[in-house]
Amino acid sequence: MSRVDVEGVSVSPDHFINNERVSSPTTFEDRSPLDWSWKLADVARGGAREADLALSAALAAFPGWSALTSEQRGHYLHRLADLVDEHVPDIAHVETRDMAMLEESLRLRVISRGARNFRAYADLAREYSPRRWSSNGTENVVLRQPAGPTVVITPWNAPFMLSTWKCAPALAAGNTVILKPAEWSPLSCSLLMDLVEEAGFPPGVFNLVQGLGEEVGAALVNDPRVRRISFTGSPETGRLIGEAAAKNLVPFTAELGGKGPFLVFADADLEAAAEKAAVMYDDAGQVCLAGTRLLVEKSVVEEFTGLFRVAVSRHVLGDSRDPATTLSPLIHPDHLARVRGFVDRARESGDHVVFGGSPTSTSGLWFEPTLIEPRSNDSEVVQHEVFGPVLTLQTFADEDEGVALANSTPYGLSAIIYTSSSERAERVGRRVRAGTIWVNCFLVRDLTAPFGGIGISGIGREGGEYALDFYSDLTTLQIKEGTTHG
Ligand code: NAD
């Protein structure tokens, strides 16, 4: 199919397999959340045929790519990172129109994190030296071997950054990759493939297939030729992918949904806490890591809520292309209906909507920043991820109750703690069940740290060496002492 023009930036709506653009007999519509009447593209709708083509290409490319040294692979990854940096404005431009994240935020921070992902893993893989030690009359050597073709499946929020976060370590470890982005925001990953070609990657090393999860996604994860599956998305899909991985005994990681607690202790800098809590509405609350359950020590709840209201009132709902906007629309009418359903059911069941609670107009996909005081901790809106601009507010009397509330959902992706005491931070941090806990900050990330979820928020860890281990087959070589050199 010919390329489409997204307000001045040209994007291919096709797959990218074996370094070639491949179309499909059928397509799916991709519309802009900024204006739902705006069709961005008819995107190639992959199925079993495209999954097979991509896997065959990845399998054929694997011996060559895995035989390269980490330095040689690093050369390609660094070249790709440089190209991403050069193309930040175009990628941000397309992603804003495709999924409505704020263009300025994408341009200044999010897309360049994609470049950092490629560089960081290229360098980490290069630095690796096998662990060696002597025991039981043998020399032990741990080898990190490339695992094989890897399927990466990503969600619609932050599609570019989240895809590079997984593809970079897989490629650096010597695996070949098939990326399937989400059907609601497929375009920025297509731009990445233009850069893969420009960077001179060998054919078949890094492939992209477009399409629906239950079609091409399912075909990919069920194929026994796949050696690793890395998934980010909802717990429901995570379970389906886990079943496919189990059937073929393929290692998989799943980074899933969140319902993070945002704990505010009476000793905290309340103004800073309230400012940060208002940030939880950014990207219309479509952030897995957000602290969506505000848990505030009872003695300061009034003061905190007053400051929070002021901070929230500074948000500006608008077009994500406009630098003045801080609150973007939701991704899709179906998602708006889902968010609205949560709030309507909360209201009907006796939860108190403190502010917000409705779409802002009948035509657009904006939803008001919403705060709900639940009638009980069992309320649906407390126990389920909404993935929209909806926070809940609860109080606690002391540290024990705060920790108990923090741990009272099946999720465990992230938590945020505001306190001025480092002792309390560490004490509470050790008791809260979450893969990542931020104290007096949010979204600060060191790429070498482990990342993942507890409970229904995920299985496995990526990040730094943890990711490189996951994408590798670790082999122990034991050489009997006295085996002659040479
Ligand atoms: P989703 O689970 O609906 O879809 C994610 C991806 O899975 C899409 O590419 C989709 O096409 C694919 N898919 C769907 N069914 C499939 C199947 N049967 N086989 C293979 N692939 C299939 O999730 P979503 O709505 O796109 O994203 C929102 C969810 O992602 C939220 O729960 C959010 O918290 C989570 N998320 C988690 C993280 C994290 O790091 N933990 C980051 C971002 C988003």
pLDDT level of residue 362 (50, 70, 90 thresholds) = confident
Ligand 1 atom 40: the closest Cα is on which residue? 255
Residue 486 pLDDT more than 80?
Answer: no
pLDDT of residue 485: 72
- CATH code: domain 4-256+453-476 is 3.40.605.10
* pLDDT tens, residue by residue, 163-183: 999 999 999 999 999 999 999
Q: Which residues are catalytic?
A: 255, 288
To the nearest whole number, what is the mean pLDDT of the chain? 97
Shortest-distance atom of ligand 1 to CA 451:
40
**Spacing, Cα 210 to ligand 1 middle (Å):** 14
Listed by start position, the domains of the chain span 4-256+453-476, 261-439
Q: What percent of the chain has pLDDT over 70?
A: 100
Q: How many CB atoms lie under 10 A from the CB of residue 439?
A: 19
Residue 437 token pair: 């806990």
- Does pLDDT of 397 surpass 90? yes
For residue 382, what are its two tokens?
A: 């407390």
- Give the pLDDT of residue 1: 77
Query: Measuring from atom 26 of ligand 1, which residue has the nearest CA?
Result: 155
Please write the tens of the pLDDT for every residue from 420-443. 999 999 999 999 999 999 999 999
Ligand 1 proximity of 46 Cβ (cutoff 6 Å): no
User: pLDDT-based confidence at 37, cuts 50/70/90?
Assistant: very high
Return d(Cα 201, Cα 182) in angstroms, integer.
24
Sorting pLDDT into bands at 50, 70 and 90, what band is 484?
confident
- Side-chain-facing half-sphere of 81: CA atoms under 13 Å: 22
The rounded Å distance from CA 424 to ligand 1 centre is: 35
CA distance 28 to 13: 10
Ligand 1 atom nearest to CA at 184: 26
**Contact call for residues 147 and 228 (beta carbons, < 8 A):** yes
Specify whether the CB–CB gap between 434 and 451 falls below 8 A. no
What is the distance between the alpha carbons of residues 200 and 202, in angstroms, rounded to a whole number? Answer: 6
- Residues, the chain: 486
Task: Quickly state the pLDDT bin for 201 (edges 50, 70, 90).
Answer: very high
Sequence-separated contacts (24+) of 297-303 with Cβ below 8 Å: 297/264, 297/265, 297/266, 297/395, 297/396, 297/397, 297/398, 297/402, 298/395, 298/396, 298/397, 299/266, 300/264, 300/266, 300/268, 300/270, 301/393, 301/395, 303/270
Nearest C-alpha to atom 18 of ligand 1 is from which residue? 214
Provide mean pLDDT across the span 24-45: 98
Whether residue 417 has pLDDT greater than 90: yes
Instruction: Pull the structure tokens for residue 416.
Output: 């945020």
Return the ligand 1 atom nearest residue 158 CA.
43
Mean pLDDT, residues 110-118 taken together = 97
- If one residue of 117, 157, 330 were mutated to test the ligand 1 pocket, choosing by the most ligand atoms within 8 A of its CB, it would be 157
Confidence class of residue 363 from pLDDT cuts 50, 70 and 90?
confident
Fold of 261-439: Aldehyde Dehydrogenase; Chain A, domain 2 (3.40.309)
Cα–Cα distance measured from residue 276 to residue 350, given in angstroms and rounded to the nearest whole number: 28
- State yes or no: pLDDT of 291 exceeds 80: yes
The pLDDT of residue 361 is: 80
Pocket test for ligand 1, best of 110, 151, 153, 163 (most atoms within 8 A of CB): 153
Measured by CA distance, the residue closest to atom 35 of ligand 1 is 233
Cβ of 209 below 6 Å from ligand 1: no
Q: Is the minimum distance from the CB of 185 to ligand 1 under 6 angstroms?
A: no
**pLDDT reported for residue 418:** 98
Confidence of residue 264 (pLDDT cuts 50, 70, 90): very high
